[in-house]
């Protein structure tokens, strides 16, 4: 019998938008829309969804998709003249059929390479030529990796901010802890970016949160007690970017004000975003920046004390 191989399929998604489905032999899968270069689904070997996608998400340009992993580029949030979070998340990307060599081995991995180049219209609002290559990889064990390679193809330098705006699916936000950010300094977006220091143990949630943590470690864990699941987030090669981590949950009031978000859905999501925000990245002509995010979901028996979160962080 032929050996089973990971699969890469192109199909039509919602509203006829093109999507790519990556499947691993043990059952994990991920879906990526060309619209936004946007990962909308990531399932483990048991077919359980690991990312949050709003039931009210609007899969129609120019509205970005609510949930999954939006790519914020060339501007994070309102830090500039562009629309919130830049335009990469609401442009149609292409499949990159001839990507430059990739340093890591691809054996047994399912992956797809996407590319975004600015259109004439984009150049009017952000006058810099670039090539943004995004590789999305599903490892044999179901780990999801996103690698961004952004090249300045212009004659002049440019600067940008960036984020992987990852929406995780959680059973109940009040049962969730984030480990790895405790005792760090953060800027509070809800208090005009005033700087505070996180006190005490792991981060828990009981109201709206919109914080930019500074000088964060390369590994962070999200513990979902009810689901007995721990997400481990690793970021590599994000030299400056790796120092920032955003944590966002709109909570009840803001949720109600968002057209593409269910009133109660804030209970089932948490955004923990690897980002380059406070200090923009500058690329000279011909230079390339690379930022990688790796996500894994492991069963945790944290409640019964079998899994020490510190081991997850340091291991």
Contact between 246 and ligand BG6 by CB under 6 A: the answer reads: yes
Give me the residue label for tokens 């992987």: 164
Q: Binding pattern to ligand BG6, positions 159-178, x when CB under 6 A?
A: ------x-------------
**For residues 275 and 40, what is the distance between their CA atoms, to the nearest angstrom?**
19
| Annotated binding-site residue? 306 | no
Which one of 20-28, 77-85, 110-118, 214-222 is the stretch in contact with ligand BG6 (CB under 6 A)? Answer: 77-85
Single out the residue of 248, 266, 289, 302 in contact with ligand BG6 (rule: CB under 6 A). 248
Interface mask toward ligand BG6 for 8-47; x: CB under 6 A: ----------------------------------------
Torsion of CA 104, 105, 106, 111, to 10 degrees: 0
Q: Is 265 in the site for ligand BG6 (CB under 6 A)?
A: no
Q: Which is nearer to ligand BG6, 143 or 273 (CB)?
A: 273
Residue 151: strand pairing partners: 131, 288
Alpha-carbon gap, residue 170 to 227, rounded angstroms:
8
Closest CA to 30 of 41, 19, 17: 41
The catalytic residue among 179, 265, 273, 294 is 273
Asked if 73 and 162 count as a contact pair (C-beta separation under 8 A), the reply is yes
Distance CA 9, CA 36 (A): 18
State whether the Cα torsion 93-98-102-105 is positive or negative. Answer: positive
By CB under 6 A, name the one of 210, 224, 265, 294 that touches ligand BG6: 210
> What kind and span of H or E run contains 256?
helix 251-257
CB 115 within 8 A of CB 142: no
194 binds ligand BG6 (CB under 6 A): no
Residue 88, helix vs strand vs coil: helix
> Active-site residue 165, yes or no?
yes
Tell me the closest approach of the beta carbon of residue 37 to ligand BG6, in angstroms. 15
Ligand-binding site membership of 84 (annotated): yes
Would you count residue 189 as binding ligand BG6 (CB under 6 A)?
yes
By CB under 6 A, the count of residues binding ligand BG6 is: 10
- Rounded CA-CA distance 315/211 in Å is 26
Nearer to ligand BG6, 137 or 216 (CB): 216
Choosing from 23, 38, 43, 85, the residue that interacts with ligand BG6 (CB under 6 A) is 85
User: Is 288 assigned a catalytic role?
Assistant: no
Residue 285 interacts with ligand BG6 (CB under 6 A)?
A: no
- Catalytic residue (one of 165, 179, 265, 294): 165
Burial per residue of 187-220, b for 16 or more beta-carbon CB atoms within 10 angstroms, e otherwise? bebeeeeeeeeeeeebbebeebbbbbbbebbbbb
Binding residues for substrate are: 66, 84, 89
Tell me which residues touch ligand BG6 (CB under 6 A): 64, 77, 84-85, 165, 189, 210, 246, 248, 273
Binding residues are: 66, 84, 89
Positions marked catalytic: 165, 273
């Amino acid at each position: 019998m032929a050996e089973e191989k990971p699969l890469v399929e192109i199909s039509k998604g919602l509203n006829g938008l093109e999507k790519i489905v990556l499947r691993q032999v043990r059952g994990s899968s991920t879906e990526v829309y060309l619209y936004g270069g946007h990962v909308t689904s990531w399932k483990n070997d048991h077919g359980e969804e690991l990312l949050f996608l709003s039931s009210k998400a609007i899969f129609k340009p120019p509205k970005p998709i609510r949930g999954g992993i939006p790519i914020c580029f060339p501007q994070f949030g309102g830090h500039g003249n562009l629309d919130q979070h830049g335009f990469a998340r609401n442009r149609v990307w292409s499949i990159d059929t001839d990507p430059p060599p990739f340093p890591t081995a691809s054996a047994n991995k399912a992956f797809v390479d996407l590319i975004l180049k600015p259109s004439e219209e984009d150049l009017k609002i952000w006058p810099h030529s670039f090539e943004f290559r995004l590789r999305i990889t599903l490892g044999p064990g179901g780990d999801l990796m996103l690698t961004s390679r952004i090249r300045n193809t212009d004659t002049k330098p440019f600067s940008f901010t960036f984020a992987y705006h990852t929406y995780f699916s959680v059973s109940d936000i009040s049962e969730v802890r984030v480990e790895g950010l405790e005792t760090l300094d953060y800027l509070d977006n809800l208090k005009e970016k005033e700087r505070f220091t996180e006190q005490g143990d792991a981060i828990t949630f009981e109201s709206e949160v919109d914080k930019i943590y500074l000088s964060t470690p390369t590994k962070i864990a999200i513990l979902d007690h009810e689901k007995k699941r721990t997400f481990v987030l690793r970021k590599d090669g994000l030299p400056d970017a790796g120092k920032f981590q955003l944590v966002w949950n709109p909570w009840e009031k803001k949720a109600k004000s968002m057209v593409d978000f269910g009133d109660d859905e804030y209970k089932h999501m948490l955004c923990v975003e690897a980002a380059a925000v406070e200090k923009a990245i500058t690329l000279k002509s011909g230079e390339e920046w690379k930022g990688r995010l790796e996500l894994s979901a492991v069963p945790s028996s944290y409640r019964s004390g079998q899994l020490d979160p510190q081991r997850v962080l340091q291991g």
